[in-house]
């Protein structure tokens, strides 16, 4: 890993242990890797005598609440609930650690204060096209499963851990295992030799993987499975080009009482069809239209997201959004938009 060496680890240690007001932050609508890496960083710093805060734009989905223990509640600030405190902490900090995103706009409401903040900034991320110029120190590797895995390789090399996963602390280790597990879809995608080494070391150090899997995958409401049935029977569309897509409008989301996180994993499922090369899930979210894209090897979800969906991400897992009225007049046009533009994309037009 090109960004991890004794020099960069030393700089990381100097910057973190020399700072007094540390903010940890991650992308909007945080997922398992965003929360997992943020909590792991938090735990590591706490275990080493620091008092960091985690500042995020939106709340986290309920299936991740096992990582946020009650005594952490004063140290986790959500901007949509308390904008003044969130912005104040970012502007008043002397170190900001940015996890699992490649550019400030990915934090949505935190973007303005992150840009304005004078504190030093560290990037720890695994997405393509990082804005390195915005950071004082960057760890950006795309050949890892997750930001959580990248953070593991950094932390394990600090003098506090001395190469021993057991010295990371159980809660830190559990958070890392959680982020890696969700970003790889439970070891289905983006698994590298380093990922399995890390998972093995964390298990040997006592991480309870069964507990983590139970929290992540077995705590949903019945509504989620009912929605999945409706989607697969009635809403899933496929095109002659080998694209599968699902449009979830507000009415459907309300009818099934869908909460953030309830549609996690759905976008991957149509890839199980042999002729499908790319799968797209569209979700109406307030006045926004959010897009998730997954692709098989040989088709770039990242390029498709960048070119047609105002976004980006990884080669085979990306996301973005559609703007109303610039891209589509309303959610009812999303299907046509997808069919037209994926046809152009997949036929090199």
CB 24 within 8 A of CB 42: yes
| Contacting ligand 5GP within 298-327 (CB under 6 A) | 311-314, 317-321
Q: What residues numbered 48-87 form the site for ligand 5GP, per CB under 6 A?
A: none
Smallest gap from Cβ 59 to ligand 5GP, in A, equals 16
Beta carbon of residue 306, minimum distance to ligand 5GP (angstroms, whole number): 8
Strand partners, 312: 319
Binding site for Mn ion (CB under 5 A): 33, 100, 146-147, 183
169 binds ligand 5GP (CB under 6 A): no
By CB under 6 A, residue 180 contacts ligand 5GP: no
Q: Which is nearer to ligand 5GP, 88 or 265 (CB)?
A: 265
CB of 187 to Mn ion, least distance (A): 15
Answer yes or no whether residue 119 interacts with ligand 5GP by CB under 6 A: no
Residue nearer to ligand 5GP on the CB measure, 85 or 108: 108
Q: How far is CA 133 from CA 35, 93, 115, 138, in A?
A: 24, 19, 12, 9
From the centroid of its chain, how far is CA 6?
A: 27
CB of 312 to ligand 5GP, least distance (A): 3
Nearest approach, Cβ of residue 283 and ligand 5GP (Å): 9
- Reference 97, options 137, 49, 154; nearest CA is 137
CB of 267 to ligand 5GP, least distance (A): 6
| 190 part of the interface to ligand 5GP, by CB under 6 A | no
Residue 32 makes contact with ligand 5GP by CB under 6 A: no
* Residue of 146, 193, 148 lying closest to 156 (CA atoms): 148
Closest residue to ligand 5GP, Cβ-based?
319
The rounded distance, in Å, linking the Cα atoms of 86 and 46 is 20
Report the residue number, 24 or 156, with the smaller CB distance to ligand 5GP.
24
Q: Measured from the CB of residue 256, what is the shortest distance to Mn ion in angstroms?
A: 26
What are the tokens at 100? Answer: 């699992």
How far, in Å, CA of 299 to CA of 284, rounded?
25
Q: Which does 335 bind (CB under 5 to 8 A by kind): ligand 5GP, Mn ion, none?
A: none
292 makes contact with ligand 5GP (CB under 6 A)? yes
Out of Mn ion, ligand 5GP, none, which partner does residue 130 contact, by CB within 5 to 8 A per kind? none
**79 touches which of Mn ion, ligand 5GP, none (CB within 5 to 8 A by kind)?**
none
Which chain residues interact with ligand 5GP by CB under 6 A?
27, 31, 106, 127, 292, 311-314, 317-321
């Amino acid at each position: 890993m090109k960004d991890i060496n004794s020099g960069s680890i030393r700089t990381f240690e100097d910057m973190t242990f020399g700072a007094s007001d540390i903010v940890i932050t991650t992308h909007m609508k945080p997922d398992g890797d965003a929360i997992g890496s943020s909590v792991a960083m938090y735990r590591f710093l706490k275990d080493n005598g620091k008092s960091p805060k985690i500042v995020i734009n939106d709340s986290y989905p309920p299936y991740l609440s096992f990582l946020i223990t009650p005594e952490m509640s004063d140290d986790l600030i959500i901007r949509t609930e308390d904008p003044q405190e969130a912005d104040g902490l970012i502007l008043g900090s002397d170190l900001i650690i940015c996890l699992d995103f490649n550019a400030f706009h990915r934090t949505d409401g935190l973007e303005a204060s992150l840009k304005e903040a004078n504190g030093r900034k560290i990037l720890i991320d695994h997405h393509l096209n990082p804005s390195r110029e915005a950071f004082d120190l960057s760890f950006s590797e795309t050949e890892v499963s997750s930001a959580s895995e990248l953070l593991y390789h950094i932390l394990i090399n600090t003098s506090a851990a001395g190469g021993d996963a057991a010295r990371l602390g159980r809660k830190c280790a559990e958070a890392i295992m959680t982020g890696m597990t969700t970003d790889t879809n439970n070891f289905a995608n983006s698994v590298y030799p380093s990922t399995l080494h890390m998972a093995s070391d964390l298990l040997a150090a006592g991480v309870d993987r069964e507990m983590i899997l139970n929290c992540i995958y077995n705590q949903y409401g019945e509504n989620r499975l009912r929605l999945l049935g409706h989607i697969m029977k009635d809403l899933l569309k496929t095109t002659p080009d080998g694209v599968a897509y699902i449009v979830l409008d507000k009415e459907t989301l309300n009818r099934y009482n869908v909460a953030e996180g309830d549609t996690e994993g759905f976008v991957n499922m149509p890839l199980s069809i042999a002729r499908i090369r790319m799968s797209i899930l569209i979700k109406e979210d307030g006045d926004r239209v959010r897009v998730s894209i997954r692709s098989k090897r040989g088709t770039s979800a990242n390029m498709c997201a960048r070119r047609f969906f105002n976004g980006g991400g990884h080669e085979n897992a990306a996301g973005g959004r559609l703007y109303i009225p610039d891209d589509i007049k309303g959610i009812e046009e999303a299907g046509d938009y997808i069919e037209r533009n994926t046809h152009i994309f997949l036929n090199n037009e």
